[in-house]
Structure 1
Amino acid sequence: MNRILALGHLMINRDSHAAKQLELLKKALCADEIIPYLGPDLLRLRYEEPPVPHTPQAVAAAFNARAPAPSKIRTNMWSVAQFIEQRRHRRTLQAWMAEIFAGPVAPTVFHAWLATLPLSLIVDSWYDGAMRAALIDTGRTDVVEIQGVTRAHAIGDVWTKTYDLSGTELQPDSAATTVLYTPHGSIKPAANFLIADSDYVEALTEIDIQTPIPRAVKERRTKRGFFFFGCRFDDQMLRTYARQVIKRSSGPHFAAIDSATLTKNERRFLAANAITVIDMPVGEAAAQLVGTDV
């Protein structure tokens, strides 16, 4: 079937339309006209079984192996993390997250390709640090990473921290050609994690007026849309953050997802935010973009 289907207000590009749209998106990425928004499904491009969890449910399972949570919250990563923080202290939660994501994660070919492009902004929505590693591998010195940080022990109005690729903390708004934005934190360089429900209480209170979003992100998204790659939106927290990161950007937005696997909530989210689906498995889409097997 070689046509574009509209399911409600959800636009889906299939077959030759999907391939053609990917070619246009490749040109847009190379010209810094669209922002890649990366998710943990990218890890499956390199690993049949990734060395770190690649879904919120897998993180919850790793927590439960250390301290079983009540059955009603057992599969919810954020609630299980909150349970651990309340019962075992924040230091324990922090240490366990560092253990869970300690395994070295090599960048995929897709990460490596993105790292060579003159992109103004890359958003990485998972904790594994693969995109950071790919940027380090290029030897670039014109990149800063802005990470979301917990306010559990914060003094003052601190929502993020900024680092160069060597791990040195920088002043906010440090100049850079490329900003890597990790809104939920990352294992590298300092094991900053937004993970427990309590981490998000103030952020979700303020995020509608965009206070937690860094100025560099607000500025660099203004004339661009977003391309979601390796992302799923089957959890309310992931949908909320994605919605706020793309807020006030100019669009258009796209997502490479196998449409047959979409949940009702994902369909509603994609339609409500005018995100066009490129109906293609992530591996196939990555291979077309990079121009080689991934």
Structure 2
Amino acid sequence: MTREMLRVALEAVGKGRVVPYLGPGVAALGGAIASPAALCAEIEAQVRVPKRAHGNLWSAAQYVETKKFRATVEKMVIEAFSAPTGRNPIHDWIAAVRPPMVVDAWYDPGLVKALRAGSSDWGMVQGVSRNGEWSEIWHRSYAADGTPCPEGVDPAWPMLLYKPHGLALPGHSFLVSDSDYVEVLTEIDIQSPIPDEVRNRRTGRGFLFLGCRFDDQLLRTYARQIAKRSGGGHVAVLEGELTRMERLFFEEIGIERIDLPLAAVVEELKDMGMPAA
């Protein structure tokens, strides 16, 4: 029954009825950093942070930003995601089926690279840090080749990639420190940081959460607000025990869980004849 539910959800993505929402676990399939805790460990290997910040990515990044300047944090994060990675079967699947929208809630550039290897009729909108900004800016848009689009998202793009936390590539921005998120979380309940076209494309659609954990309040807040006023019928592929807060969160926004590992998603895609690494 769980495999049947999974197939139905994957087919719905291909038909444009469901929005894939990708977390760090998907990036890990290609060998990229697999979680906020793992990225925090990369930072802590270079800078000794106070005990209160130990193991907490947002707090550790804030400490480095405060003591060693913003540029130091950015360099660490970009370098952490610059290591070579392999083919990623879920990224390849997304690039093949090209849903109207995909949310990639992690910093890695893997999906961007997979999409750029194919057709160019898509675009990206990403969250940006307001550190050093003098205007009220929440996000920036780019064409498929990386050219900035000052006018914003083009509604005519057949596919939109939304990276709410930003992108760890030179020349791009990302949110990672506590201070990055302060203003965003103040405004996110009234949807100001959510791009208009993201709001348009979620209407009438559910979300399929892959590679996500929701044991952190910040991650729950983002997912809740991105899925707000969507079509409902959300599904999450998440193996094993849930925390109490994850259970409550799933109940709150109506997520039906499929208790399977991501490896089962990859196997199902193979059975469906989709590309796989």
Instruction: List runs of 5+ in structure 1 lacking aligned partners.
Output: 1-16
CA-based RMSD of the aligned residues comes to: 1.5
Q: Does 1:289 align with 2:273?
A: no
Q: Does 1:250 align with 2:196?
A: no
| Mapped contact 1:34–1:224 kept (Cα < 8 A) | yes
TM-score by length of 1: 0.88
Give me the whole-angstrom Cα distance separating, in 1, the residues matched to 2:196 and 2:97: 22
Give the equivalent residue in structure 2 for 1:205: 186
Give the equivalent residue in structure 1 for 2:42: 62
Runs of 4+ in structure 1 deviating by more than 4 angstroms, as ranges, are none
Cα deviation for residue 286 of structure 1 reads 2.5
Cα deviation for residue 45 of structure 1 reads 2.9
Cα deviation for residue 165 of structure 1 reads 2.4
Of 63, 77, 90, the residue aligned with 2:70 is 90
Give me the whole-angstrom Cα distance separating, in 2, the residues matched to 1:181 and 1:43: 15
Change (3 A) 1:195 1:184: same
Of 133, 155, 168, the residue aligned with 1:154 is 133
Cα deviation for residue 43 of structure 1 reads 3.2
SS at structure 2 position matched to 1:66: coil
Give the equivalent residue in structure 2 for 1:4: none
Give me the whole-angstrom Cα distance separating, in 1, the residues matched to 2:260 and 2:78: 33
| Mapped contact 2:124–2:153 kept (Cα < 8 A) | no
Aligned residue pairs total: 272
SS at structure 2 position matched to 1:170: coil
Q: Please identify, of 282-291 and 91-100, the stretch whose mean Cα deviation from structure 2 is larger.
A: 282-291
Give me the whole-angstrom Cα distance separating, in 2, the residues matched to 1:146 and 1:277: 28
- In the TM superposition, 1:133-144 aligns within 5 A as 133-138=113-118, 140-144=119-123
Change (3 A) 1:180 1:106: farther
Query: In the alignment, residue 245 of structure 1 is paired with which amino acid?
Result: I
Give the equivalent residue in structure 2 for 1:42: 26
Q: Does 1:179 align with 2:160?
A: yes
SS at structure 1 position matched to 2:97: coil
Give me the whole-angstrom Cα distance separating, in 1, the residues matched to 2:268 and 2:34: 23
Give me the whole-angstrom Cα distance separating, in 2, the residues matched to 1:44 and 1:80: 22
Give the equivalent residue in structure 1 for 2:208: 227
TM-score by length of 2: 0.93
Instruction: List runs of 5+ in structure 2 lacking aligned partners.
Output: none
Identity across matched positions, percent: 39
SS at structure 2 position matched to 1:146: strand
Give me the whole-angstrom Cα distance separating, in 2, the residues matched to 1:189 and 1:229: 26
